[in-house]
């Protein structure tokens, strides 16, 4: 390196929330390289204190408008763990179905609206209306269909209504199952076209080995809703040991916590799940991975988007199988939970502690709750995927800059922006309470 470079990207575009990129290279050496999270803390853990455990899913779904269903499911899992409630097979199947819809909805948003413009050579999704109208129409059609699937199952995608502690307040009818199956089959063709499109697009060539972390299990299914916490470095622990995994710390220029396990950082998300569980994907998803030339262990962070495409194929096919199973078994409407803000039907209230660990679109999400004998919150902790990715992104940037130092400043800036976007960060989600001790 022999250049002096100054890059200041204020409020990076095409990500959720507000973050900056600051880079200073002086006399060929990196003086500053930072991913700055500049949003204010949101205090969701504090909001829960003194509230009923049965309110938690509805409150915590407001952490995010994109992965609201994922927060709801992590919250429900933690609450049921604390209360000693074991969900029925039907409830578990419906929750897995909801999580598939969440992944599809979020991944399609990221693939088409946030990443595709960079790969197609434009500055945002809007110019694609003229240059790639077929891409725009397909993206909006797929996104609308995913929203409608969530509407049918849980009332709405943003802050779902009917998924609660103990089950669901509304269950799908036979016609609902048929309608969802029909729409998923319709989605297949557009997903095939998506695979074909992105197999022809060129992603940046960059690699940095890191520790990839995701849920793992001993079953045949691709783990999204349940499992232990696993690592590509060969480690596996129970979800109850999550603090030994996350080891949260802070840096002075960011309002979001960071994490590390066995290395200086680790990554979560679609690429981590693929690296750890690719052999458990649906056969059609494996075909998509081959078509996209994605193989584990992949250490190119830009290809997280490709892993999302593969997961979309898996979620479509597995969702169809779940619906067909529910259709043949028949829905047991006796399992409907009578909604009550403070007490769901005859569900138990007791003192307890629970942990929910769920794979949401951006990676491993953890909710940890502690309640008293009335079922009222004493403490809560939420560890968000973007918290776990932020330090890894910054270390990627530090390795990337020397490799592209001879490019123009505009090209370097774009490469850094694309790197951050590849992780699909949900920055607003990541900013939570910081403990302050006044002396």
Domain boundaries, the chain: 44-430
> Residue 238 carries which DSSP code?
-
d(CA 23, CA 148): 42
Structure confidence at residue 432 (pLDDT): 54
User: Which residue in the block uniquely carries the two structure tokens 């309002």?
Assistant: 255
Of the listed ranges 17-21, 103-107, 246-250, the least confidently predicted one is 17-21
Q: Considering only CA atoms, which of 336, 244, 251, 298 is closest in space to residue 422?
A: 298
Backbone phi and psi for residue 261, each to the nearest 5 degrees, phi listed first? -120, -90
Structure confidence at residue 152 (pLDDT): 96
User: What is the mean pLDDT of the segment spanning 342-359?
Assistant: 82
pLDDT beyond 80 at 428: no
Asked if the 44-430 domain carries CATH number 3.90.1300.10, the reply is no
Residue percentage of the chain with pLDDT more than 90: 82
- 435 pLDDT band, cuts 50/70/90, is very low
Q: What is the pLDDT of residues 82-111, one digit of tens each?
A: 999 999 999 999 999 999 999 999 999 999
Mean pLDDT of all residues belonging to the chain: 93
Tokens of 366: 């953890």
Q: What is the pLDDT of residues 262-308, one digit of tens each?
A: 999 999 999 999 999 999 999 999 999 999 999 999 999 999 999 99
d(CA 434, CA 99): 29
Angle between helices 385-403 and 409-422 (to 10 degrees): 150
pLDDT beyond 70 at 349: yes
127 by Cβ neighbours in 10 Å (0-12 / 13-18 / 19+) ranks as middle
How far is Cα of residue 118 from the mean position of the Cα atoms in its chain? Answer: 21
Pair 299, 210: CB distance under 8 Å: yes
pLDDT beyond 60 at 24: yes
Which residue intervals of 155-226 are DSSP H helices? 174-199
Higher pLDDT, 28 or 201: 201
User: Which residue in the block uniquely carries the two structure tokens 């429900």?
Assistant: 76
Pair 164, 339: CB distance under 8 Å: yes
Q: For the chain, count helices (H), then strands (E).
A: 15, 12
410 by Cβ neighbours in 10 Å (0-12 / 13-18 / 19+) ranks as exposed
d(CA 258, CA 281): 30
Q: Considering only CA atoms, which of 245, 261, 135 is closest in space to residue 194?
A: 135
Q: Considering only CA atoms, which of 366, 384, 381, 395 is closest in space to residue 428?
A: 384
User: What is the mean pLDDT of the segment spanning 114-142?
Assistant: 94
d(CA 398, CA 416): 10
User: What is the mean pLDDT of the segment spanning 109-118?
Assistant: 96
d(CA 204, CA 300): 9
> Residue 36 carries which DSSP code?
E
Tokens of 254: 């960011």
């Amino acid at each position: 390196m022999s250049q002096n470079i100054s890059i200041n990207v204020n409020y990076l575009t095409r990500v959720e929330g507000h973050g900056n990129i600051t880079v200073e290279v002086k006399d060929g050496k990196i003086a500053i390289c930072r991913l700055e999270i500049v949003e204010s803390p949101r205090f969701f853990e504090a909001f829960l204190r003194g509230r009923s455990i049965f309110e938690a899913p509805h409150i915590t779904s407001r952490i995010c408008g994109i992965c609201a269903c994922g927060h709801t499911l992590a919250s429900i899992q933690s609450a049921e763990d604390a209360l000693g409630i074991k969900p029925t097979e039907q409830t578990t199947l419906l929750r897995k179905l909801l999580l598939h819809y969440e992944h599809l909805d979020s991944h399609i948003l990221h693939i088409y609206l946030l990443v595709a413009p960079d790969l197609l050579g434009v500055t945002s999704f809007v110019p694609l209306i003229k240059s790639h109208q077929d891409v725009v129409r397909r993206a909006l059609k797929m996104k609308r269909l995913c929203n409608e699937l969530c509407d049918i199952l849980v009332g709405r995608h943003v802050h779902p209504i009917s998924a609660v502690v103990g089950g669901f307040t509304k269950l799908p009818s036979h016609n609902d199952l048929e309608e969802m199956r029909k729409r998923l089959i319709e989605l297949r063709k557009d997903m095939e076209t998506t695979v074909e499109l992105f197999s022809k697009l060129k992603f940046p060539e960059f690699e940095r080995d890191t520790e990839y972390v995701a849920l793992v299990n001993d079953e045949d299914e691709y783990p999204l809703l349940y499992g232990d916490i696993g690592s590509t470095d060969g480690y596996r622990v129970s979800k109850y040991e999550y603090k030994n995994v996350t080891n949260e710390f802070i840096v002075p220029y960011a309002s979001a916590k960071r994490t590390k396990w066995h290395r200086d950082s680790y990554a979560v998300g679609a690429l981590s799940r693929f690296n750890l569980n690719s052999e458990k994907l649906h056969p059609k998803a494996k075909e998509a991975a081959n078509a996209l030339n994605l193989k584990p262990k992949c250490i190119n962070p830009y290809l997280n988007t490709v892993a999302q495409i593969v997961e979309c194929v898996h979620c479509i096919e597995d969702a169809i199988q779940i619906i067909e199973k529910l259709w043949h078994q028949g829905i047991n409407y006796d399992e409907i939970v009578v909604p009550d803000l403070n007490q769901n039907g005859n569900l138990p209230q007791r003192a307890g502690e629970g942990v929910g660990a769920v794979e949401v679109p951006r990676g491993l999400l953890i909710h940890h709750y502690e309640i008293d004998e009335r079922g009222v919150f004493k403490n809560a902790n939420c560890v968000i995927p973007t918290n776990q990715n932020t330090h890894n992104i910054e270390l990627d940037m530090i390795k990337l800059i020397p490799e592209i130092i001879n490019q123009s400043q505009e090209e370097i800036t774009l490469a850094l922006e694309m790197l951050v976007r590849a992780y699909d960060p949900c920055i607003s989600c990541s900013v939570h309470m910081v403990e302050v001790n006044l002396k």
